[in-house]
Amino acid sequence: MKSSALKHIRTVFAVLVLLLFAFLFIDFRGTLGEKAFGPILYLQFVPSLLKFLIAGVAAATGFIVVIILTLLTGRTYCSFLCPLGILQDAVSRVGGLIKRRFRKYGYKKPYTFLRYFILVLTAGILLLGGVYALTILDPYSIFGRFMTYFAKPVALFINNLLASLLGKFDIYTLYKVSIKPFELAAYIVPFAFLLLIGLLAIRYGRLYCNTVCPVGTLLGLLSKVSLFRIRFEESNCTRCGRCALSCKSSCIDFLNKHVDISRCVNCFNCIDACKENGMSYGLVRLKKKDKQEGTGTDTSRRTFIAGSMVLLAGGSQLLRAQNTAPTPTKDSTVKEDRLYPVTPPGSIGIESFIARCTACSLCVSACPTNVIQPSVNEYGFAGIMQPRMDFHSGFCNYDCNRCTDVCPTGAIMPLMIEAKKLTQIGKAVFIKDNCVVNTEKTACGACSEHCPTKACHMVPFEGNLLIPEIKDEICIGCGACEHACPTKPYKAIFVDGNAIHEAALKPETEKLEAVPSDFPF
Amino acid sequence: MKRRNFLRSSLGAGLAAGTFMSFGRLEKVLAGTPVPAGANYDLIAVMGGEPAAMFDMGIQAMGGMGTFVSKGQKVLVKPNIGWDVVPEKGANTNPALIKRIIEHCFRAGAKEVYVFDNTCDNWIKCYKNSGIEQAVKDAGAKIVPGNTESYYQEVTIPNAKKLTSTKVHELVLSSDVFINVPILKNHSSARMTGALKNMMGVVWDRGYWHRNNLNQCIADYALFPQKPALNVMDAYNVMMRNGPRGVSVADLSNMKSLMLSTDWVAIDAAGAKMLGKEPGSIEHIALAAGMGIGKMDLSTMNIHRMKM
């Protein structure tokens, strides 16, 4: 097929996908229904793969669709479906506006060693140690963090300015939303990648996708045998080099009339750039092997991959040994003596959660109460950015299960609202020595006030005072008590996580006395 | 504080803009609120009807809404919307009652009626699931957010013992008439919640109250000059235990009652009785009465009782 329409179709499609995914993460008014998340996220490669392989959800077949798509058409995923890839295209356009030569690419040799090393490293760690490398490198999760950590606050800032302005005219259709930064350390990885990917995209197009991204490399391998691909129409080509200049992947060697198909992301810019109909996209033509594609390189690559796998086995085992469920760190000087961090409802337990979560932060963004926050070292160093329940930031709304609806990797499994209300993610622990009622001898009870099950209830204390007491069996660990507790700097009540979530009992109800039929005054 | 500092430094421009825009409010604060006349009873109590119908009867006995609201005035109606629960759970003020109160305000000539609460649960869910957002919109009034600190302004409270200053919602300062519409409930912190306790939803930092003698702070706030012209207490479904959030509908007693008063200590004293408690045993009521904010001795009050 020869048509510059292909490029325009790609551009329009990609813009829509980018806007959709940006909205998914920035939607601070929670306008997207819970049913929308599944279909939108279905085709994201890494989340689908993890949900299928680790969480064992048979319906998570999106990655198979992507593999088939790649075998048929090449790396269409990278230009049409990967939000991070599309974002880089947008950034490289901006780069072109800054300096026109930034968008003139030309052929460059691939960083073959680095590409395959990262792919093997990621796969090895996944198979033997856990999800940690994917947490850092999954393109969808990187995009999610860009949106949640950087784009959403900007959107909120603009919203708040507008809301403030409209408020002066007595219009309250927009409302202000407080912008709450995460803990500083959680920004390290996203910020480093923002710089890395941003700078590479401005000047070198898709260099990140063809050097660092493990999904890009994997799909690149598959696309080497794809049915449809970009190719030279040798009779038309005048070797003018426009195609190579327009190629964001720097994969067109026009002098040799060769396209490095493993790096081609099907953006179709070259077809559009060629004035002579010298480039086309179509069914692969079988021909005799080129000199460049000798078998020698392939063997050495295979040996390298096999070798690295063996090497990695040991390394990942070491990593695994260090980073299973966090070990209790009791320290008598710390007032809130939390043995375990609290994982969101539906995550089953700490170990299964941290084995599946790639820290895309969609739950962080979707949570209406901001109780889900990126961790720093609560799950150990390798679990950085994986979310936890932070009851200083908010508490888990009793009638809400939004996080269980949005998670694409199966780290948080769907939980019906009635089941969620009986899922104990942790237990409240009362520290009498911190409590206002005990220290100040004045009434408080903010904890019990907020408790949805009255697991935290008030019992007689000195004089006319009441003091909290906790019924473990009906506590669900929502953290309303901890959030409401007014003491500083340490709370007088806090939730200690359940390493494995348990079932809470239903609060008992007794009948009241008869309704009075007259005023008691 | 770290977060706040971070915000301040990074959003400096926004805050400056916000400060600039809030200048308009000050004159209105200084102008004060006129005290309504014409209420002969200390307390009006209605029993046996639906909330809206009971209000019709009660406000008529008070001389109609025109006693409190004049033509062209801005009215603030402050229900309790603290919890993300449906109306049947009786944790938030009845939406039908709020709707009817707003309708009376407009009939009396109100230019605009506003409704808000600084909720405990997520405010969007509270506004929506309480049915109050819809009721307010249906009645043609404005439902206003109270979810960020920027809506609140620092005020001082004269003669207060503990709560000498606090941040109140700008609507409390900018409205001409303030109508307080609490729901009567058992309460784990303050023993009961009614008219006085409902003011914890017009300030930003409730934690301060809890840390600094809760009951004294509740009584102290009643000294703030912008006080309700009228208090309407919803006692239709009264939460007798497990308050203020409630665990199940089994906690409710279907008393089908409503009280009205210009004296918020008096209305709370009546509420305490309905919860089976002596007014004097509720510390914040006793403190407020002792500070001369209102009457708590029901036996000396002129009470108008009505049944439907």
Q: How many helices (H) and strands (E) does chain A have?
A: 22, 10
Predicted pLDDT at A514: 81
Per-position DSSP letters for A139-169, written without gaps between them: HHHHHHHIIIIIIHHHHHHHHHHHHHHHHHT
Query: Among B84, B151, B210, whose Cβ lies nearest the Cβ of A486?
Result: B210
Q: Do A225 and A91 share a structural domain?
A: yes
For the ranges A422-436, A499-513, B225-239, the lowest mean pLDDT is seen at: A499-513
* Nearest chain A residue (CA) to B307: A518
User: Given an 8 Å threshold on Cβ–Cβ distance, is B248 in contact with A507?
Assistant: yes
Closest to A457 (Cα-Cα) out of A444, A445, A473, A439: A445
Residue B184 makes CB contacts below 8 A (sequence gap 6+) with: B192, B193, B194, B233, B234, B235, B238, B239, B271, B274, B275
The string of pLDDT tens digits covering residues A191-222 is 999 999 999 999 999 999 999 999 999 999 99
- Per-residue pLDDT of A96-106, as tens digits, reads 898 888 888 99
Residue B8 has pLDDT above 50, yes or no: no
Residues A160 and A277 in one domain: yes
pLDDT for position A294: 42
pLDDT over 90, % of chain A:
78
Phi and psi angles of residue A95, each rounded to the nearest 5 degrees, phi first: -55, -40
Quickly tell me which residue has 């093997």 as its tokens: A120
Instruction: Quick: pLDDT tens for B266-284.
Output: 999 999 999 999 999 999 9
**pLDDT(B30) > 70:** no
Contact at CB, A451 and B24, closer than 8 angstroms: no
Domains located in chain B, CATH noted = 43-307 (3.40.50.11440)
Give the gap in angstroms from C-alpha A462 to the nearest C-alpha of chain B: 15
**pLDDT for residue A334 is more than 50:** no
Highest mean pLDDT among A13-22, A227-236, A312-321: A13-22
In a domain, residue A376? The reply is: yes
CB contact under 8 A, A516 and B255: yes
* Contacts with B123 (C-beta within 8 Å, 6 or more apart), sequence order: B81, B117, B145, B146, B147
Q: Are residues A367 and A494 in the same domain?
A: yes
Q: What is the mean pLDDT of residues A475-480?
A: 98
Q: What are phi and psi of A493, to 5 degrees?
A: -145, 135
Examine the fold and report which residue of A230, A262, A283 is the final residue of a domain before the chain moves on. Answer: A283
Please report whether residue A398 resides in a domain.
yes
Q: Are residues A382 and A256 in the same domain?
A: no
Among A162-171, A372-381, B38-47, B227-236, whose mean pLDDT is lowest? Answer: B38-47
Distance CA B180, CA B227 (A): 9
A516 CB neighbours in chain B (<8 A) are: 253, 255, 274
Position A508 in a domain:
no
- What is the model's pLDDT at position A308? 59
Report CB contact under 8 Å: A178, B14: no
**Which residue shows structure tokens 């919203």?**
A159
Instruction: Give CA–CA dist B44/A410, Å, rounded.
Output: 58
Model confidence at B12, in pLDDT bands (50, 70, 90)? very low
Name the token pair of A83.
């939000």
Residues A177, A261 within the same domain: yes
pLDDT tops 50 at residue B19? no
- Comparing CA positions, the residue from B189, B177, B171, B272 lying closest to residue B231 is B177
Provide the CB-side half-sphere exposure for A442 (13 A, CA). Answer: 18
**Average of per-residue pLDDT across A228-248:** 92
The answer to whether residues A249 and A377 belong to one domain is: no
Number of structural domains (chain A) is 2
The DSSP code sequence of A435-497 is -HHHHT-S---HHHHH-SS-SEEEEE-STT-EEEEE-GGG-----HHHHH---SSS-SEEEEE
Residue A81 has pLDDT above 70, yes or no: yes
Q: How many CB atoms lie within 10 A of CB A510?
A: 7
Query: Residues A193, A198, A200, CA angle at the centre, nearest 5°?
Result: 100
What rounded mean pLDDT belongs to chain B? 89
A328 has a chain B CB within 8 A of its CB = no
Amino acid at A41: L
Task: Give mean pLDDT, residues A280-304.
Answer: 61
A273 and A362 part of one domain: no
Cβ under 8 Å to A: B residues 61-100? 84-85
Task: Clarify whether residues A248 and A374 are in a common domain.
Answer: no
Residue B53 has pLDDT above 70, yes or no: yes
The helix/strand/coil state of A198 is helix
A509: nearest CA partner in chain B: B250
A128 assigned to some structural domain: yes
Q: How far is CA A235 from CA A102, A289, A367, B143, in A?
A: 30, 19, 58, 71
Average pLDDT, chain A: 90
The answer, yes or no, to whether the previous bond of B244 is cis (omega within 30 of 0) is yes
Q: Hey, is A213 helix, strand or coil?
A: coil
Query: Any bridge partners for residue B45, and if so which?
Result: B259, B305
Q: What percent of chain A has pLDDT over 70?
A: 90
Residue A461 belongs to a domain: yes
Q: Report the CATH number at residue A399.
A: 3.30.70.20
Examine the pLDDT at B108 and tell me if it is beyond 80. yes
**pLDDT on residue B5:** 53
ipTM (interface predicted TM): 0.85
Segment among A279-293, B34-48, B207-221, B273-287 with least mean pLDDT: A279-293
pLDDT score of A299: 57
Q: Sort out which chain B residues have CB atoms less than 8 A from A175's CB and list them.
A: 145, 147
Closest CA to A45 of A12, A20, A75, A7: A75
In the prediction, which pLDDT does A323 show? 42
In Å, how far from its chain's centre is CA B214? 17
A440 CB neighbours in chain B (<8 A) are 211, 213
Could you tell me if A500 and A343 are in contact, meaning their C-beta atoms sit under 8 angstroms apart? no
Interface of B with A in 208-237 (CB under 8 A): 208, 210-216
- Three-class HEC string of chain B: CHHHHHHHHHCHHHHHHHHHHHHHHHHHHHHCCCCCCCCCCCEEEEECCCHHHHHHHHHHHCCCHHHCCCCCCEEEEEECCCCCCCHHHCCCCCHHHHHHHHHHHHHCCCCEEEECCCCCCCHHHHHHHCCHHHHHHHCCCEECCCCCHHHEEEEECCCCCCCCEEEEEHHHHHCCEEEEECEEEEECCCEEECCCHHHHHCECCHHHHHHCCHHHHHHHHCCCCCCCCEEEEEEEEEECCCCCCCCCHHHEECCCEEEEECCHHHHHHHHHHHCCCCHHHCHHHHHHHHCCCCCCCHHHCCEEEEEC
Q: Residues A114-141: pLDDT tens digits?
A: 999 999 999 999 988 789 899 999 999 9
Give the model's pLDDT for residue A381: 87
Return the pLDDT at A338. Answer: 87
- Please tell me the number of Cα atoms within 13 Å of A417 on its side-chain side: 7
Is there a contact between B91 and B175 (Cβ–Cβ < 8 Å)? no
Looking at residue A21, its pLDDT comes to: 98
Q: Which residue has the higher pLDDT, B123 or A517?
A: B123
Q: Between residues A480 and A286, which one has the greater pLDDT?
A: A480
Chain A residues 379-408 with a CB less than 8 Å from chain B? 397-400
State the CB neighbour count (10 A cutoff) for residue A171: 12
C-beta atoms of B250 and A510 within 8 A = yes
| Domain assignment of residue A433, yes or no | yes
- Report the pLDDT value the prediction gives residue B65, as an integer from 0 to 100: 97
What pLDDT is stored for residue B3 in this prediction? Answer: 52
Pairing of strands B252-253, B230-239: antiparallel
- Mean pLDDT value of segment B53-57: 97
Assess whether A273 and A357 both reside in one domain: no
- Same domain, yes or no: A483 and A354: yes
How long is chain A? 521
Of A172, A175, A449, the CB nearest to B244: A449
pLDDT, mean of residues B66-72: 96
pLDDT band at B20 (very low <50, low <70, confident <90, very high): very low
Domain with A387, as residue range(s), is 350-503
Q: Is A179 on the interface with B (CB under 8 A)?
A: yes
- Choice between B16 and B8, residue whose per-residue pLDDT is larger: B8
Q: Does B306 touch chain A (CB under 8 A)?
A: no
Tell me the mean pLDDT in the region B287-297.
96
Q: Note the pLDDT of residue A298.
A: 54
Residue A242 and residue A366 in one domain: no
**Does A374 fall in a domain?**
yes
Residue A451: inside a domain? yes
Q: What angle do CA A221, A271, A1 make, to 5 degrees?
A: 80
Give the bridge partners for B183, in sequence order.
B234
